[in-house]
């Protein structure tokens, strides 16, 4: 059995570590591809639902090369009808299905063409196996078949996580206008190296995603979420309540530029600070960053780390030296329509 996980591009290695920790086995991936492939030693659907870093999980039924022309896709149809071994375990004449299709790259065909052709493959395969066609239900299918064309490679599989991406956590009662995906919040915690008993803070926490994710993976850490906007703090408290961690995270109103005034040493300062045109002129945003980092560097423990996600990575890398900080890690990720960097900083030794 081989599984495929769709992920935020840029965190494939973190996903690979998590799935192997949960189910063993081996993984393969290409950074920024958005997919991780996994041959588990111990397949467990409950373990999949515990994963914090993935968007969706699929049982992979077919993987192969398909050209960019519509005729290439049509030609593969007859072949797939005979090569979708195992599909009958998930779809029967009494099981409704729908096809979800995506594509990346330049092709003569659309995602709708892929969905139509793969849907025809499923119907013909099940009809050949059982002697009866399976019903199609585009609204509430029992089973979702996914098809993903990335350049010249086509993946076909059965969804283990339904139609809803797992990055949409059920606790998101209050939705901050610039909310960070929980999968990226989890990745930032891992890159920062957080552990139980650490003191962890997000001084610009918005709806509380980073502190909540920290509380969900660390039982004994001291976790705080601050924001200068009282409305966001109220929303963060509601989200923490919905996540069942309200008593394990302290939320309060504070200015991130005055973090050092709290007279507390932090092991991990992890945040998704404002970026983008909506937050005003670049000079305003950069002044906030410099003031925040200057304050954060004063209250960082000797082994502490500052981890942020931002599109202002060029500016950050220019000013860290004068602030007594060094960069220990940096990577590009995909978030929404942007490609921000996650940057991990430490004090100069």
Q: Which of 159, 193, 208 is the last residue of a domain?
A: 159
Find the CATH number of the domain harbouring 98.
3.30.2130.30
pLDDT value of position 165: 82
Q: 3-state SS string over the chain?
A: CCEEEECCCCCHHHHHHHHHHHHCCEEEECCCCCEEEEECCCCCHHHHHHCCCCCEEEEEEEEEECCCCHHHHHHHHHHHHCCCCCHHHCCCCCCCEEEEEEEECCCCCCHHHHHHHHHHHHHHHHHHHHCCCCCECCCCCCEEEEEEEECCEEEEEEECCCCCCCCCCCCCCCCCCCCCCHHHHHHHHHHHCCCCCCEEEECCCCCCHHHHHHHHHCCCCEEEEEECCHHHHHHHHHHHHHHCCHHHEEEEECCHHHHHHHCCCEEEEEECCCCCHHHCCHHHHHHHHHHHHHHHHHCEEEEEEEEEEECCHHHHHHHCCCCCEEEEEEEECCECCECCEEEEEEECC
Same domain, 8 and 155: yes
Asked if the structure places residue 165 within a domain, the reply is no
How many domains would you assign to the chain? 2
pLDDT digits (tens, 9 = 90+) for 151-169: 999 999 999 987 778 887 8
Q: Which of 144, 159, 174 is the last residue of a domain?
A: 159
Residues 328 and 303 sit within 8 Å (Cβ to Cβ) = no
d(CA 134, CA 3): 24
Same domain, 301 and 337: yes
Bin 146: left if φ > 0, else alpha if -120 < ψ < 50, else beta.
beta
Same-domain pairing of 100 and 192: no
Note whether 218 and 313 are same-domain residues. yes
Nearest to 146 by CA among 115, 100, 88: 100
Res 278 pLDDT > 70: no
Of 329, 217, 343, the closest CA to residue 275 belongs to 343
User: pLDDT-derived band of residue 180, with 50, 70 and 90 as boundaries?
Assistant: very high
Does 303 share its domain with 186?
A: yes
Q: Please tell me whether residues 113 and 236 are part of one structural domain.
A: no
One domain, residues 224 and 155: no
Asked if the structure places residue 167 within a domain, the reply is no
pLDDT at 312: 93
Q: What is the pLDDT of residue 277?
A: 52
Does 177 map to a domain? no
User: Is residue 12 located within the same domain as residue 145?
Assistant: yes
* Domain identity same for 111 and 10: yes
Judge whether 135 lies within some domain.
Answer: yes
Residue 61 lies in a domain: yes
**What domain range includes position 119?**
3-159
The pLDDT tens digits for 191-249 are 999 999 999 999 999 999 999 999 999 999 999 999 999 999 999 999 999 999 999 99
Question: What's the pLDDT tens digit per position in 323-332?
Answer: 999 999 999 9
What does the pLDDT look like over 40-87, one tens digit per residue? 999 988 999 999 999 999 999 999 999 999 999 999 999 999 999 999
If asked whether residues 144 and 19 sit together in one domain, one would say yes
Q: Assess if residue 172 is contained within a domain.
A: no
> How far is Cα 336 from Cα 327, in angstroms, rounded to an integer?
25
- The reply to whether 48 and 107 lie within a common domain is yes
- CATH number, domain of 338, equals 3.40.50.150
Both structure tokens of 322: 């004068």
Among the listed residues 309, 297, 302, the one whose alpha carbon sits nearest the alpha carbon of residue 339: 309
Q: Are residues 280 and 331 in the same domain?
A: yes
Residue 17, in any domain of the structure: yes
- Would you tell me how many other CB atoms lie within 10 Å of the CB of residue 164? 12
Residues paired with 117 in a beta bridge: none
List, in order, residues 6 or more apart from 29 with CB less than 8 Å away.
12, 13, 15, 16, 35, 36, 37
In a domain, 270, yes or no: yes
């Amino acid at each position: 059995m081989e599984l495929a996980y769709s992920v935020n591009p840029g965190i494939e290695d973190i996903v690979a570590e998590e799935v192997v920790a949960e189910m063993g086995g081996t993984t393969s991936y290409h950074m920024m591809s958005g997919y991780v492939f996994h041959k588990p030693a111990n397949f467990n659907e409950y373990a999949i639902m515990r994963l914090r870093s993935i968007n969706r999980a699929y049982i992979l039924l077919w993987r192969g090369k398909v050209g960019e022309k519509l005729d290439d896709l049509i030609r593969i149809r007859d072949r797939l009808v005979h090569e979708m071994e195992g599909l009958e375990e998930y779809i029967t004449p009494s099981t409704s299905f729908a096809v979800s299709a995506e594509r990346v790259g330049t092709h003569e065909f659309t995602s709708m063409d892929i969905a139509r052709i793969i849907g025809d493959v499923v119907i013909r395969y099940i009809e050949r196996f059982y002697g009866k066609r399976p019903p199609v239900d585009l609204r509430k299918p029992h089973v979702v078949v996914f098809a993903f064309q990335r350049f010249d490679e086509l993946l076909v599989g059965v969804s283990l996580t339904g139609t809803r991406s797992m990055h949409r956590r059920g606790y998101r009662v209050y939705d901050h206008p610039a909310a960070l995906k929980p999968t990226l919040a989890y990745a930032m915690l891992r890159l920062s190296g957080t552990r139980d008993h650490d003191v962890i803070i997000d001084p610009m926490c918005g709806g509380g995603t980073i502190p909540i994710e920290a509380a969900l993976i660390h039982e004994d850490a001291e976790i705080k979420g601050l924001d200068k906007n009282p409305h966001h703090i109220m929303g963060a408290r509601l989200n923490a309540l919905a996540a069942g961690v309200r008593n394990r995270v302290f939320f309060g109103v504070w200015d991130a530029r005055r973090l050092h005034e709290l007279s507390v040493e932090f092991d991990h300062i992890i945040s998704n600070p404002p970026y983008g045109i909506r937050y005003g002129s670049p000079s305003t945003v950069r002044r906030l960053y410099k003031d925040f980092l200057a304050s954060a560097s004063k209250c960082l423990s000797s082994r502490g780390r500052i981890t942020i996600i931002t599109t202002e990575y060029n500016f950050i890398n220019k000013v860290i030296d004068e602030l007594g900080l060094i960069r220990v890690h940096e990577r590009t990720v995909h978030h929404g329509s942007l490609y921000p960097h996650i940057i991990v900083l430490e004090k100069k030794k």
